[in-house]
Chain A
């Protein structure tokens, strides 16, 4: 993409604050100078806007309240992504609240984490992973 289209994209997608107070996030993410987006997807339209049309790659964490490993994976994802200086965002999808989105992306076991870039599914992993595995997954998506 050339510079003019990059600037065009930025004009249509204003930066969100580091912690978006419109969406309830249980864990507050500590950020330094760079902005890091972490948000809960509300519905299909929200997914379209904030994941598919996102200018930066988005890691989507499909989870559920009843899923034990999901509760362990969540903080790990947040910690790793918060260190990427805004190069990637984190979207959380509760599969019970957003069944259609989960069905569309063929989510079966939980947690399922899918990396999106330019509106397309790039990579995916299933289940709780160690930090270094998560880190290389995130790096692969960014680059």
Chain B
């Protein structure tokens, strides 16, 4: 495993390009485009204000930089560095901006979700989408980029509109039976759309591409409902994580629950492997100590090594009792992710914040629990193989695969607190992001 040096970063804005060749990062108002393997700077662009959001176009030719305060989106071309494009929303304001799947249209959501403007880079045409819903996931594109689903709300009722991305024509428009639609997501096969309600109502609705309601699922009535949803890569399963600390998996044939995955604080199953991160005390030779201590010595003194230990079941995990009188309580399954080969599901239960639960989907059983020393910040599956990378806000990155798990400390002085990570599309390298810096980790083929 090789680590690059630390580079400056702001706003956790570091993205690999979809084709994997380049890496874009932001420092305040500057956009730096590097080569993904050598990290050499290829392009350097300056924007008008501090950048809040960047996104690569699907063909990796353009990058959009959104500045919400100014209401401006600037688009840069990698091919022609003198090309420029600036979209000014003016007094309409800007809260969100994204690319269309064809990489030639930009969808800007104006302030208060008044409308979504579709700007075209090819023609002078502009389209508007009225009454978009102000929710977490209001716009969803199919994987093949053909269709776009938009959540709308008119007269206190929720609707979903499906557009054809090629010409932005409305295909279907139908209402949903939700109280307050919270999010929509297409299945990877592009034929089924899942829509779910707020956490006050546990309800998942499944619509076919042509707008028919295929099924509706409700697990219970009164307690807080859905916290997170994930489709499996093969579209066979829909995993629903809820506030009752359970994950329910629906199957695509009958749209009925096939299993409930529980997240108890004590693990008793004998077939589960529990990896616990333990600190190793640093070993130092006493004759090496000198005053004033050298930088390397200081960092090695204060940085602790850690490793994984296998715990014998039963294991009781670090559990936080949820505060009852606060909104959005830290309870329930807040993170869900399927592995790329459809074999594993990684979950995080927010009131057991230091643990990652890895479920074997073929057996529908808990395979592994990783218990870390600190709260899990982010985890992501390798896009090619069943390998999970986890970060907890320390300067260590944790990797798990069915062969085992490993703790790797990012070398270097100073604190590098990793709060986010993202894999390269080839699975050979990983971007580690902290508040002010980023680092690229290169993995060798045979590792883990």
Partners in one complex: no
**Chain B interface residues (CB < 8 Å from chain A):** none
